[in-house]
Structures are given as C-alpha cells and as structure tokens.
Amino acid sequence: MRRSAFDRIFQEIQQIRYRLDDIETALSKWNPPSLEISESKLLSLPDNLRKTYLIVASKGECNATQVSDSTGRSRPIESCYLNQLVRMGWLTKRRDSKTINFCVISEEVLKGRSQHT
C-alpha cells in the first residue's frame, strides 16, 4: 500500500515535470516585438527614470525589488520611480497577490493615446 502511494506521487511529479518542460519550451520560443520609442522621447526622461524604464523594458515585467537589484538603488526609491513612470504614462502596473508588477505600456495603447491627442 505504501509503495502505491509513492508510485502515484512519483507519477504526479513526472507529469508536473513534463508540463514544466512544455512551458519552458514555449517561453524559449517567445520573442515579443520590441516597442519602438524614439531616442528623443527616451532622452526626454531624466537619467534616473530612464535607467528604471530601460530595466523594466528589458525584463518585460518586474517588481520594484527586481529593478532595485539591477540598478543598485534601494527598493523604496525604485518603487517611487516606477510609480512616477506609471503616472507619466510610460508603464502600467498590476497586482499579483502581494506583489505589484510593472511593465511597459503596449504599443496599441500608445497608438490609441497618440490618436486622441
């Protein structure tokens, strides 16, 4: 009886591993199109915000802790910069449980904004 329980657990672990392999394969093939932002628009950002923005753009989506690990600045400072970029319309944010993740605004949203202005 004990053996069959271990066998079921082992089979479930194998199934999870196969699913993870499928996910890793799919993600390795994923190549999102880069957002075309003119150099002049990017240079219009202050250096501190530009550095934060470029980290988020390179990672795709991240939280303040991940950005601060990359920039070497404190997490509260990066959180402030990230929220400032959200208010300026450069980033969006979404809550994932207790974590707030930031990502670059999609190209469709940017196009929609430029049509309304």
State which residues form the domain around 21: 1-31
**Domain tally for the chain?**
2
Cα–Cα distance, 68 to 72 (Å, whole number): 5
Cα–Cα distance, 3 to 107 (Å, whole number): 55
Strongest mean pLDDT among 19-33, 41-55, 74-88: 74-88
Does 52 share its domain with 83?
A: yes
Does 72 share its domain with 46?
A: yes
Report the predicted TM-score, pTM, of the whole model to 2 decimal places: 0.62
pLDDT digits over 71-104, tens only? 999 999 999 999 999 998 899 988 888 889 998 8
Q: Say which range, 7-16, 27-36, 55-64, 83-92, has the weakest mean pLDDT.
A: 27-36
Cα–Cα distance, 63 to 11 (Å, whole number): 35
pLDDT digits over 49-65, tens only? 999 999 998 888 899 99
Q: What is the CATH number of the domain that holds 70?
A: 1.10.10.10
